Structure 1
Amino acid sequence: MTALRTGAISVRAEWVRLPGTVRAATVVLGILVLLAVFGPVLAGYAPNTPHYADKLSAPSAEYWLGTDQYGRDQFARLMYGLRLSMLSALLVLLGSATISLVAGLGCGIYGGLFDRILTRMIDIVLAVPSLVLALAVVGAFGPGYVNLLVALVFSGWAADARIARALTLEARTRPSVVAAVVAGVRRPAIGFRHLLPAVLRPFLVVTTLRLGGIVVALAGLSFLGLGVQMPEAELGAMLGDARRFLTAAPWLLIAPSVAILTLAAAANLLAEGMRGRGPEVIQR
């Protein structure tokens, strides 16, 4: 009991020391996560069920955010769309971060020809704007949810791989790593036992900075019809579908727009707060 109380006091003290923007962003993200998880339960209708008699209805007690051109409940669609958008952003971030970390560690561990070849690949990918590269990948494989995720992972791994490489090269000079090399420990073992623990924490802080941009990129490409296809609910796709009714039903644009802006802003504020508390190497 005493240990639990001490842990709670420690967590509370750490929370108080956080900047106000970080605390606010954490609360907002927590609310959005709760809505994404439990919002569909609160919705009175299925997201893809049409009610043609109530199409383009304004917000009311029955339809909290109104209905679209098919009479589908916008609140239900927003909750499902929020869940899909958050899950998609996390999948893209996890996929690109994994590739970046493996590539950066490989460059730092093996060096030589492997490092030169992979560094040139990173330079080539970084020479093309990430959004243009994502559009090219989607154009090559066709629109769709999976293809969009693959495109964003492919276009976003290079910048973080360069950071992972720099962190690995710095960690390689630590006494414990040098001692392991002198002792003849195999390179993969050095990478997993010594370099990965030293690199992982600052790398995660840096890669989290991209979460807000991933949210916006997902919404933007889905808005253009390159991601989730209707009738599936996704914030960017909902926004693209609603633009035809800007004057007749403006509420169709407001809800997904606010959700996208809130999610991206909260993610950016939280990431910036983490960056400010990270080690000095992250600031360079």
Structure 2
Amino acid sequence: MPPALRHFDRPTVLVVVSRVITVAAVVVVVGLLPLLSDRDPAQSILRARSAERDITPQALDAIRDDLGLQGGPVSTFGHWLGGVLSGDPGRSWISGEPVLSPAVSALGVSLTLMACALVVAVVVAALLVVPTVRDGLAGRPRRGSGASAVALTSVPEFLWAAMLLVVGAVWLSLPAYGWNGPTQALLPALALGLPAGGLLGRLLSDAVATTFTEHWVTTWSVAGFSSGAIIRAVLRRAVAGLMPQIGLVMVGLTAGAVAVEEVFAIPGLGRQLLDDARAQDLPALQIGIVLLLGVSVVLGVMAEVVRRGLLGRARRLGSLPMAQNVFATAGAARAVPAVAVGLLAVVVAGGMARDPLATSRARLAAPSWSHPFGTDAVGRDVLARVAHGAWHSIGVGVVVLVAALVIGLVVGMLAHLGRGPIEVFNALPPVLVGLVVAGVAGPSTSGAAVAVVIASWAPLAAHTAALIDEQRSMPYVRVLPALGAGRVRIMWETVLPAVLPAVVRHAALRLPGVVLALAALGFLGLGSAPPQPDWGLILADGIPVVERAPWVVLGPLVSLIALSVAATGLAGCQSVRRRRTTGSKASVSAE
């Protein structure tokens, strides 16, 4: 093999092939949107350009001739693909202007906002991991309840945006609307960065706690290494396994900022894509998705390069240390989820006997004995709507999450072949996927569920792939083939059982986000529709009046946080019990 090609080993080639095939497949789907949709683009364009003009065959034919649609969707795709490759992806079907320059400008705004939000997320994650580091240095590595991280993650971005808008614009007189550069990024960056920081903080706390159980930490402590040196080494070891997650969070900040950009009137790519999809301006929508795909691939490559650099020779030589996976479990780790479950049960039991659709003259009434959570803007009992919405929101959310978890585990086990789909699909926010699904199959709860599954499995698959890669590098796993164990047996009996608890905990932490993603699609008319009781819809309905009647959002928000704390807390207790019952078996396998 020529020296210039020696570094292109088989795994590298598989990763590149995976990325190329996935991006190509998604680009083909994007380019064939006119063929997949059952709507006539010419009618949408005619309505957008002139609402008063009669829709006649002659008018529609004139639009098709003007835009080159007479040849059919396949011909349109070929024309569009040629334009993309030549740097001219076409003109807007609505305004007639070139679509590339506005998309690039909007992407620059979104990337700036993403960078500011990432700073916020890193600061929040660092603050959340401090107690774990302190306990590890004291020789008591443990996983706490993570209630603070869960609470931050449970509050949706659009609700953070609404609350920060009230606090910043009304109380503190800070600039809140529009975009004049990074000086106006404070409030939207907080709205995006706080939930992301909570997620990263929880994942990093788990990784740091696990790292502190590895034997080398004890060796370093006995050898007299300073606390600072141990902390730096532990963080390097822990962050390496989370680099794919950090890369995906960065992409998610760019692709998922639709609601925040909408609330703060920021001309970013997310908001622009939402407007383009609503107007069915396919040229603008297509180039926006292509740009997001490019960003996702670049960030995915950067995250992998950093991860390999952090692990260094240990990954190549198979000398990664092995954790003991024994933790001192705090009492709060059991008490907090139990309290959360009890609170959620009380809320559901107290509101199931009430009518969630009945209205009264007591609009925006404050909490009282007759209405413990108050009433909304049309006089409906908020407690009744929260209780009845629990069955729908949690039920559909659990089904979606299980499907995403299964897909994530399967794709994560594909190793290098799964890298491309993970990076690409994480760049597609649920709102955008929901718009595409609704355009093909029509709005429905099942369509919204499919859209959220498509947009939710990638982070779980990335986490699975990173953990499997590390487990395969462990000495006791590398020696198993020499003992006669096959690949399938090693995966199912040794690697997957070690990886599964952490991925399940990660999935449980995402349950509130899944529930809110479903509700957001329903609010946009792509899934559950009013007046059906749904936690996300209740929150969305309460945002316009949150300054005057904060109790409208307080009930569903507290219930959502309780759900998050209960899900992640119970998952953590279950993983600890599993470790205690399987620890001896793992030791035998290692020997």
Q: Distance in 2 between matches of 1:178 and 1:91?
A: 36
Question: Bigger relative contact order, structure 1 or 2, given CA contacts below 8 A and separation 6+?
Answer: 1
Match for 2:459 among 145, 159, 167? Answer: 159
Q: Corresponding residue for 2:493?
A: 193
Q: Deviations over 1:27-64 (max 9, x none)?
A: 56544433443433323743335255666655432222
The verdict on how the C-alpha distance between 1:165 and 1:249 changes in structure 2, with shifts beyond 3 A counting, is closer
**In 2, Cα distance between equivalents of 1:153 and 1:248:** 36
Q: Which aligned pairs between 1:5-154 and structure 2 lie closer than 5 A?
A: 19=144, 22=147, 29-43=337-351, 45-48=353-356, 50=358, 52=360, 58-68=366-376, 72-105=380-413, 107-108=414-415, 115-116=416-417, 118-129=418-429, 131-154=431-454
**Cα distance, 1:139–1:26 mapped onto 2, change above 3 Å:** farther
Preserved contact between residue 371 and residue 382 of structure 2 (Cα < 8 Å): yes
Residue deviations 1:227-279 (CA, integer Å, cap 9, x gap): 3223321111123345676799764344334544x3587489969x99xx9xx
Deviation at 1:158, TM superposition (A): 1.7
2:344 touches 2:559 (CA, 8 Å); kept in 1? Answer: no
Query: Is the Cα–Cα contact under 8 Å of residues 66 and 75 in structure 1 kept in the other structure?
Result: yes
Contact 1:131 1:155 in 2 (8 A): no
The worse-fitting range, judged by mean Cα deviation, of 156-165 and 86-95 is 86-95
Shift of 1:170: 2.5
Relative to structure 1, is the Cα distance of residues 130 and 218 closer, same or farther in structure 2, using a 3 angstrom cutoff?
A: closer
Distance 1:234 1:28 in 2: 25
Give the equivalent residue in structure 2 for 1:111. none
Between the aligned partners of 1:101 and 1:165, the Cα distance in structure 2 is 8
Work out which of the two has the higher radius of gyration on C-alpha atoms and give 1 or 2: 2
**Distance in 2 (alpha carbons) for counterparts of 1:26 and 1:87:** 24
Letter in 2 for 1:64: P
Deviation track 1:73-98 (CA, whole Å, cap 9, x = no partner) reads 32121122245434444433332122
Percent of residue pairs identical: 32
Distance apart, 1:155 and its partner CA: 0.7
1:11 aligns with none
Unmatched runs of 5 consecutive residues or more in structure 2: 1-141, 148-330, 577-591
The 8 Å contact of residues 523 and 540 in structure 2, kept in 1 or not, is answered as: yes
Distance, in Å, in 2 between the alignment partners of 1:121 and 1:56 is 46
Q: How does 1:172-191 map to 2 (within 5 A)?
A: 172-191=472-491
Contact 2:340 2:566 in 1 (8 A): no
User: Between Structure 1 and Structure 2, how many residues are aligned?
Assistant: 250
Per-residue CA deviations over 1:80-121 (Å, capped at 9, x if unaligned) read: 22454344444333321221112212x24xxxxxx43x3322
Gap change, CA 1:243 and 1:47, over 3 Å in 2? farther
Distance 1:250 1:51, change over 3 A: same
* Counterparts in 2 of 1:142 and 1:245: CA distance versus 1, 3 Å: farther
Matched, 1:217 2:525: no
1:198 maps to a residue whose letter is A
User: Distance between the aligned counterparts of 2:517 and 2:352, measured in 1?
Assistant: 30
C-alpha separation in 1, matches of 2:496 and 2:334: 27
SS in 2 for 1:62: coil
Unaligned runs of 5+ in 1: 1-16, 109-114, 278-284
- Equivalent position amino acid for 1:156 in 2: S
Q: How much does 1:138 deviate?
A: 4.5
TM-score (normalised: structure 2): 0.35
The equivalent of 1:7 in structure 2 is none
| 1:156 CA drift (Å) | 1.6
Matched, 1:239 2:239: no
